Structure 1
Amino acid sequence: MKNTRTALPLSALALLALAGCGGDGDDLRLDLTAAEAQAVCADMVAKSGLPATTLTTRYVAAGTRRPGTATNGDFLGGHCVVTGSRDARTGVDGKPYAIGFELSLPDRWNGRFLYLGGGGNDGTLRDTSLSSSISIGTPSPLGQGYAVVSADAGHQGTSASFGADPQARIDHAYNAHDKTAQSAKALIEWRYGKAASYSYFSGCSGGGRQGMMFSQRFPSYFDGITAGAPAMRVSSGATVAAMWNNRKFNDIAPAGADGKPVLSQAFSNGDLNLVADAVLAACDAGDGVVDGMVQNARACQFDPAVLQCAGAKTDSCISAAQVGALKDVFGGPKTSAGQALYAGQPWDPGIRDSGWRAWTLGTSTTAAPNSRYITLMLDALRNEFFTPADPGFDALAFNFDTDPARMAAFSAVYDSYSDDRLAAYKARGGKLLLVHGMADPIFSAKDTADYYERLAANNGGIAATQGFARNFLVPGMAHCSGGPATDTYDSLQAMVDWVEKGVAPDTIAARASATNATFPNRTRPLCAYPKFAKYKGTGSIEDAASFSCEAS
């Protein structure tokens, strides 16, 4: 049964506490029966006292639901799902806006709070029964007793058209996350009668950017932040790269029946397999064993010209135009004067993964592309990253000399790459984990490594910086997950062990996902940058125990 009502002002919270309805030291509400927990869940609507907030609550009894849409595995314990809508208003574009969030509060709380980051253009609520998008396939934090919140970032719907409203831009950048964190912490304290002992953030892509934003704008909020594939330069660098890559691939794409380029056919799957195999031939053995993965990425040197056809294009080679496009794309976008606008991409056999194609080339068989560079990044560029917005902008018209300047104003509000000291977050004792897939086709792992190097330079070197911030690169992994990789690992538990036990993660245990046909049952250690997993010389190449973390 759902309960919906506008919450009382915060001044009511103290009165309710005095009445024995929360917050009193003798009434911690940590060990309630299911019936009592359900009653408190319903009471939250009228008694929790959040300002300008409408709440809806739903109690989920123990043993009635599994995480997400799972049809097998462990059931969740009893928990209260709180859906909130805060600061409702009408935008300058005449559309309704509000800061939406979902908070799940377990009956058997472990004293921890977890904020799940979003992604894309946001506008939806991540299921709080699931794990973080940078720990897919690991146990549900809610099932482990975490209080878990997610946010829609201040607008509803996945289109970037909200960029027409200035406040919606600010909400998306940081304000909605600030308000969500505050709301969640207040509700947690009301529900359990005390604040969380530890607070964590975990997210990937846009969620990674949100984590970095918290470390800089609100450094006191979280004890530990995990930022996967952090979109730190999305509105000033990665989107420029997306337009550059789209142009380079479109320029060599064969024409369809209407005479227009078909982007997806710039490279066939067979062509991408050739490139992946050639990368492996050049770099696979650099980690001590030929195992289909490039662990020692920093030492990898590859030139796609080795695949160039001597004559006509065949299935065993790629054309000169294709070689040129790959060099341009992996070299990164530049101005006409040769000034770099974003990091290039590392060479990795994950180029053959379907996730890499989905972002760069798509699968459309017509001249209307469906790559995520166009369906997602162009939408964000037109409506949010350009100031003012330019809803009709043509991706192929992007001017690499002049258009980046149109992105600078919003970058100053939205991007999170310029603070490479993190002084306040370090001073409060916060811990930071950066995690990035080497085959990520939108946010370059090179850019994250560059940020980490700058962070280290400003904090006494890598050894000193590892006391509060560590970087993990995942060979073969595409954007946040997928690819020929060991892409399943519990980064949240690694963070908890670091924050609560002082056990800094030199390695993170990783395995191939259950659906990985390339490396079934493979395990590997993920190594803290700049080390990589090197084969010891003996033992199964499928077993993490056969590898140790060594300097490149």
Structure 2
Amino acid sequence: MAIADRFLYIERPSKYPVQPVFPIRRFLSSDAWRRLPFACRALLIAFAALIPLANAHAAAYVTRHCDDLAGKTVPASVIGLPTRGALIATASVVKAVAPGNRNGEYCRITGIIKALQDTTPDIRFEVNLPSRWNGRALQMGGGGYNGVLVSGTQPMPFAPDSTPLARGYATFGSDSGHVGNSGRADFAVNDEAIVNFGFAHLKKTRDVALALIQMGYGRMPDKTYFAGGSTGGREGFTVIERFPNDYDGVIANAPAINFSGVRLFGVKVGQASYAKPGGFVGIAQQRRVFDTVMHECDRLDGLADGIVGNVEACRKLEPQIIASLRCANGQRPSLRDSCLSDAQLDTLELLRDGLSMPYALAYGVADYPGYNVFQGVDFTGALGLGDSPTLLTPPTFAANGYLFAQGDAYIRHFVTRDPNFNALAFDIDNPAHFRQRLITLSYTVGAMNPDFSAFIAHGGKLVAMHGLADEVISPNQTIAFYRGLIEHYGQDTVDSFMRLYMVPGFQHGNGVFIPAWDELGALDDWVTNGVAPETLIGSDIAPATNGRTRPICRYPGYPRYVGKGSVNLAASFRCVAP
């Protein structure tokens, strides 16, 4: 194995795990508590009453001495992966009344974690310490190829009404170790930068942030959580698999866990669209597919509401849907017709079927499940299949589709490291000397390790959500991974640490139904109080239907209209099995 490839495997276990807090509520209801003398119980209750006062005192100290943190360093010895330490560049109090601030008063800290090599970009980070601290810490993940500093001051995705920082969480994030999120993946010329992007920035940022929390409040957090979507969702699974003792709970939405798989599949989609005559599916045809599916499948959940809720029932209608889309004799459509030719249907059926390779990537993964093409995915948007039959160099999201543009960038910058390489000519089934590179990369930038045993033993909890109409990351990969966990651990064990919610009508951040719901509250209640989430309520923030509510059902359930009551209220729906 080449030295560059060996470098991508660098990993060290955490040396400074967060210690669990003694479960007070459980103790107060135990026989051991009842056997204690009355005086001892009174003393313990008095001591417990002082904890909020101690928190308030520590939080007040943070804001009084925030400026003193500027210029301080965090030594490499307290960071669980190799670095040259961290430097605090700025530290200042943001007042509650500051213009545009919705987070209350907090100490804002920014800095860098120094890379091992001078040619590698440093990791930029931000840590926010609220004056009213709830004793918890939250690391927030990035998106795409990252490259943008995650400030930790923004709302949680799909919970826009409040920010974790305003709720008292100490929040933190980073840029994953490079600047710029153009989608071109130029940073991949540097192996250390790839490692940082893949997993190392998560551990490095977490350890620096907890050192600053200790420095600011005089103690470590009671609980430490991670939350992210898309790339951030992959990062959520990554911290479970690589650093299981560092986190008490994780939120992972639309997780890009099979990162190499989705990028290689994007190349396949591009080859079907542009290397095969007539394979490109135009906007009119994309719209025809969506409208046909809605006509056939919208009412399968008991209500015509613009949402394909019963995806599995819709899947059974797929043959007749395809037949109604096909042009007469399979020929190309005329200018006045939006039917689909055989070549165009071949492209969509590839998109439905997914990728299958004759060799395995990391953890034995040799496929990437396809998309719900004929079950309500709208590929006409900014992250869809594109609008041009002409291939640009390099391809763009708008013209040639998100999947292919990202796959092309992955081949050029991550795999071949040749910016002029033609991804249409890349043979995925027989990649020759690039095969080991593909395998190595899949270990580094993926999160397909099925071994969750350490996270389970730690008592960690995972809340995962994915839209069934996602056009960017296949929801069927998330379902397949979840089923694999059940096969390995059994349903009862998986239920003890994981909740999976698959949301009809939700795409990759957009869609005909965009849920706003309190994932963080649900996770914290589970971790802190042992209250496992079941059916949750989502409020639609899609502009056309803003404010309607639906049940967010545990997989495999979906929300079905009961036949009476307001069609805009979750109470009129029940979660049922498909």
TM-score bracket, normalised by the shorter chain, equals 0.7 to 0.9
Q: 1:87 aligns with which of 87, 101, 114?
A: 114
Query: What aligned pairs does 1:26-425 form with structure 2 within 5 A after superposition?
Result: 30-31=56-57, 37-46=62-71, 49-51=74-76, 52-55=85-88, 56-66=90-100, 75-91=102-118, 95-133=119-157, 135=158, 137-158=160-181, 159-235=184-260, 237-251=261-275, 266-268=281-283, 270-301=284-315, 302-303=318-319, 304-310=322-328, 312-313=333-334, 314-315=336-337, 317-334=339-356, 341-347=367-373, 350-352=376-378, 354-355=380-381, 357-361=382-386, 367-368=392-393, 369-371=395-397, 372-384=402-414, 386=415, 389-403=417-431, 405=435, 406-417=437-448, 419-425=449-455
Q: Which amino acid aligns with 2:173?
A: S
Distance 2:490 2:383 in 1: 40
Q: Which amino acid aligns with 2:495?
A: Q
Provide the TM-score with structure 1 as the length reference. 0.83
Give RMSD over aligned pairs. 2.8
Distance 1:138 1:221 in 2: 28
User: Structure 1's 530 and 178: CA in aligned 2 closer, same or farther, altered over 3 A?
Assistant: same
Alignment-derived partner of residue 11 in structure 1: none
Distance 1:138 1:33 in 2: 24
Pairwise CA distance, 1:27 = 11
Q: Which amino acid aligns with 2:543?
A: N
Instruction: Compare 153-162 and 118-127 and name the one that shifted more.
Output: 153-162
Question: Is residue 448 of structure 1 aligned with residue 496 of structure 2?
Answer: no
User: Structure 1's 334 and 458: CA in aligned 2 closer, same or farther, altered over 3 A?
Assistant: closer
User: Structure 1's 484 and 33: CA in aligned 2 closer, same or farther, altered over 3 A?
Assistant: closer
Alignment-derived partner of residue 25 in structure 2: none
Alignment-derived partner of residue 432 in structure 1: 462
User: Structure 1's 222 and 322: CA in aligned 2 closer, same or farther, altered over 3 A?
Assistant: same
Pairwise CA distance, 1:218 = 0.6
Describe the SS at the equivalent of 2:496. coil
Per-residue Cα deviation, 1:83-135 (whole angstroms, up to 9, x for no partner): 120124545xxx352122111111111111110011211222123211234x3
Provide the TM-score with structure 2 as the length reference. 0.79
**The structure with more helix, counted as a fraction of residues:** 2
Pairwise CA distance, 1:138 = 4.0
Distance 1:139 1:507 in 2: 21
Pairwise CA distance, 1:147 = 0.7
- Count of aligned pairs: 496
Distance 1:354 1:502 in 2: 43
Pairwise CA distance, 1:315 = 3.7
User: Structure 1's 241 and 136: CA in aligned 2 closer, same or farther, altered over 3 A?
Assistant: farther
Distance 1:340 1:32 in 2: 51
Distance 1:29 1:46 in 2: 25
Pairwise CA distance, 1:219 = 0.4
Q: Which amino acid aligns with 1:63?
A: V
Distance 1:96 1:399 in 2: 31
Distance 2:229 2:263 in 1: 17
Alignment-derived partner of residue 478 in structure 1: 507
Gap runs ≥5 in structure 1? 1-24, 68-74, 255-260
Gap runs ≥5 in structure 2? 1-50, 77-84, 360-364
Determine what percentage of the aligned residue pairs are the same residue.
33
Describe the SS at the equivalent of 1:131. coil
The answer (yes or no) to whether the contact 2:230–2:254 under 8 Å persists in 1 is: yes
The answer (yes or no) to whether the contact 1:508–1:525 under 8 Å persists in 2 is: yes
Distance 1:37 1:497 in 2: 27
Pairwise CA distance, 1:498 = 1.5
Question: Is residue 527 of structure 1 aligned with residue 560 of structure 2?
Answer: no
Q: Which amino acid aligns with 2:130?
A: P
Pairwise CA distance, 1:360 = 2.5
The answer (yes or no) to whether the contact 2:137–2:223 under 8 Å persists in 1 is: yes
The answer (yes or no) to whether the contact 2:58–2:216 under 8 Å persists in 1 is: no
Instruction: Compare 281-290 and 213-222 and name the one that shifted more.
Output: 281-290
Pairwise CA distance, 1:33 = 9.0
User: Structure 1's 65 and 505: CA in aligned 2 closer, same or farther, altered over 3 A?
Assistant: farther
Per-residue Cα deviation, 1:315-337 (whole angstroms, up to 9, x for no partner): 45333332222112111134599
Describe the SS at the equivalent of 2:304. coil
Describe the SS at the equivalent of 2:558. strand
The answer (yes or no) to whether the contact 1:30–1:192 under 8 Å persists in 2 is: no
